[in-house]
Structure 1
Amino acid sequence: MHTTEIHQLLSPRAISVGLPGATKTDVLNNLIDLLQGHPLVQDLEAVRAAVFEREEMMSTGVGKGLALPHAKTAAVSGTVAAFAVTAAPVPFDAIDHLPVRLLFLLVGTEAAKSQHIKVLSRVSRLMNQEAFRERLLQAGSAED
């Protein structure tokens, strides 16, 4: 799939409102678990390893309560995404030192590097809008 339309990358199964977890590791694991059974994911544990390896390089907590964990791996055959609003604020080593409640996970192949960057850029622009972040935090379900 060669799209930068975020809604086309997210299925309702890959969205969680009230994602549990008290630590960065907990919420990342629970977020990655949302990709279980996704047709483009060949090896969920390899995806998990790639996401945590990228996170070790530098925190993906970008500020304003948002984290954009991402990775490139051969464990997927196309770009996949998951989104979550955590049940409670989670310490995430964010750039502004604030806890995180919104997480957008993006995993793609090395070949889709350009799409990867475009999607992350689009999500960043959307999440920079306080009204948009507030609407997400008020969501009661994945459909919202």
Structure 2
Amino acid sequence: MNIFSLLNEKTVLPDLKAKNKAEILDRMISSLEDMVSDNELKEIREAVFERERIMSTGVGKGLAIPHGKASGITQTYAAFAILNEPVDYEAIDSEPVNMVFLLVGPQASNNLHIKMLSRISRLMNNSEFRERLRSCSTAKEIIEAFKKEEHVSLNS
């Protein structure tokens, strides 16, 4: 499964305006509403916020990777946002976050979930790639950047 294939123009938010972590998560989870039922969306919201209560998913370098597993969904969903202004996210490096990658999957698919989190982390750890993403102004450009970067990383 490719990361870029989980994203679409409704789930990529190239200029997200948010005041705090809760607003970021709410907006990103809401971007999935056309793909899941109201009940599934509620379960996703509960799973992501519960995971965030356990420990912040602000991984440093201006990036957060909120994630969760919900028993009511049968496939993996993702959303990506570039914030128009950095937001305090209680990241491990205490720096504000300006990019957020949301990943949610079925409760039963632990291996895939961990593999996808690892792949997102590896891609997003590349500072040149993060800069390319910041230079994108549309959802389409961001998805294309992920597609190219994944292709390069899989072939190197």
Same structural fold, with TM-score higher than 0.5 when normalized by the shorter chain: yes
1:139 aligns with 2:136: yes
1:63 aligns with 2:60: yes
1:92 aligns with 2:106: no
Counterparts of 1:119 and 1:47, CA distance in 2 = 17
The corresponding residue for 2:79 is 82
Counterparts of 1:11 and 1:112, CA distance in 2 = 22
Counterparts of 1:120 and 1:43, CA distance in 2 = 21
Counterparts of 1:90 and 1:52, CA distance in 2 = 17
Cα offset, 1:75, TM superposition: 2.9
Contact 1:72/1:110 (8 A) holds in 2: yes
Q: Which runs of 4+ in 1 moved over 6 A?
A: none
The corresponding residue for 2:153 is none
Q: For 1:94-117, what per-residue CA distance to the aligned partner results, in whole angstroms no more than 9, with x for missing partners?
A: 000110011110100122111111
Q: Percent identity?
A: 45
Contact 1:41/1:75 (8 A) holds in 2: no
In structure 1, runs of 5+ residues without a counterpart are none
Q: Over aligned residue pairs, what C-alpha RMSD do you find?
A: 1.3
Contact 2:71/2:108 (8 A) holds in 1: no
Contact 1:40/1:80 (8 A) holds in 2: no
The corresponding residue for 2:70 is 73
Q: For 1:6-26, what per-residue CA distance to the aligned partner results, in whole angstroms no more than 9, with x for missing partners?
A: 011112211001112111111
From 45, 48, 52, the counterpart of 2:45: 48
Tell me which amino acid in the other structure corresponds to 2:131. Answer: E
The corresponding residue for 2:146 is none
The corresponding residue for 1:124 is 121
The corresponding residue for 2:110 is 113
Secondary structure (helix, strand or coil) at the match of 2:52 reads helix
1:31 aligns with 2:28: yes
Counterparts of 2:59 and 2:38, CA distance in 1 = 26
Contact 2:14/2:82 (8 A) holds in 1: yes
Moved more, 31-40 or 120-129: 31-40
Length-normalised TM-score, structure 1 = 0.93
Cα offset, 1:39, TM superposition: 4.5
In structure 2, runs of 5+ residues without a counterpart are 142-156
In the alignment of these two chains, the number of paired residues is: 141
Cα distance, 1:42–1:76 mapped onto 2, change above 3 Å: farther
Length-normalised TM-score, structure 2 = 0.86
Tell me which amino acid in the other structure corresponds to 1:70. Answer: H
